[in-house]
Amino acid sequence: MIERELTFESDGLRLAGILRLPDMNSDQRDGQPAVVLLVHGSLEQDKDGNLLQKRDGKPAFKKNFFLEIARRLCKAGYAAFSWDKRGFGESEGDGGDVFAQARDGRAALHALRNQEGIDQERIVVLGQSAGVYTACLIAKMEPQVCAYILQGGLFRDYRSMMDFNYARVARYAEKCPENLAWVKENDLFSLIIGLNLDRIEKAAMEGKAEHDLVYEGRIWKLHHDPSCYLPENAPSRQFRHIRKPVLIVHGECDLNVPVEDATLLRDYLLKEGNKEVDLAIIPGADHSFQEVPGDEDLRLRERMTLESFHRSYSSLYFQVLESFLDRSLK
**Residue 217 pLDDT greater than 60, yes or no:** yes
Q: DSSP secondary structure string, 4-71?
A: EEEEEEETTEEEEEEEEE--TTS---SSSPPEEEEE--SSSB-TTS-B--EETTEEPPP--HHHHHHH
Mean pLDDT of all residues belonging to the chain: 92
Q: Are residues 40 and 177 in the same domain?
A: no
pLDDT for the residue numbered 42: 83
The full length of the chain comes to 330
Reported as a single tens digit per residue, the pLDDT across 163-189 is: 999 999 999 999 999 999 999 999 999
At residue 104's C-alpha, the angle toward residues 251 and 245, to 5°, is: 45
Domain enclosing residue 29, as ranges: 2-156+235-328
Name the more confident of 28 and 168: 168
For CA atoms 16, 20, 308, 151, give the dihedral sign. positive
The alpha carbon torsion through 123, 117, 67, 146 (nearest 10 deg) reads 10
Q: Are residues 167 and 24 in the same domain?
A: no
| Domain end (from 214, 229, 244) | 229
| Domain end (from 183, 198, 229) | 229
Q: Are residues 201 and 57 in the same domain?
A: no
CATH number for the domain that contains residue 303:
3.40.50.1820
Q: Are residues 182 and 99 in the same domain?
A: no
Reported as a single tens digit per residue, the pLDDT across 41-98 is: 887 889 999 877 654 555 566 789 999 999 999 999 999 999 999 988 899 988 778 8
Q: Are residues 206 and 279 in the same domain?
A: no
* Of 18-32, 51-65, 124-138, 274-288, the least confident: 51-65
Q: Are residues 106 and 169 in the same domain?
A: no
CB 157 within 8 A of CB 146: no
Q: Are residues 84 and 118 in the same domain?
A: yes
Helix axes 315-328 and 65-75, enclosed angle (nearest 10)? 50
CB 123 within 8 A of CB 35: yes
Task: Give dist(CA 39, CA 263) in Å, integer.
Answer: 22
Give the chain's domain count: 2
CB 138 within 8 A of CB 46: no
pLDDT for the residue numbered 98: 85
pLDDT for the residue numbered 58: 56
Q: Are residues 251 and 309 in the same domain?
A: yes
**Residue 309 pLDDT greater than 70, yes or no:** yes
pTM over 0.75: yes
Task: Give dist(CA 71, CA 139) in Å, integer.
Answer: 26
Output b/e per residue, 151-186; b: 16+ Cβ within 10 A: bbbbbbbbbbbbbbbbebbbebbeeeeebeebbeeb
CB 134 within 8 A of CB 98: yes
pLDDT for the residue numbered 25: 59
pLDDT for the residue numbered 30: 58
Q: Are residues 21 and 95 in the same domain?
A: yes
Output b/e per residue, 227-243; b: 16+ Cβ within 10 A: ebbeeebbbeebbebbe
Q: Are residues 285 and 204 in the same domain?
A: no
**Residue 28 pLDDT greater than 70, yes or no:** no
Q: Are residues 138 and 170 in the same domain?
A: no
Task: Give dist(CA 290, CA 286) in Å, integer.
Answer: 5
Q: Are residues 219 and 193 in the same domain?
A: yes
pLDDT for the residue numbered 29: 55
Reported as a single tens digit per residue, the pLDDT across 102-159 is: 999 999 999 999 999 999 999 999 999 999 999 999 999 988 899 999 999 999 999 9
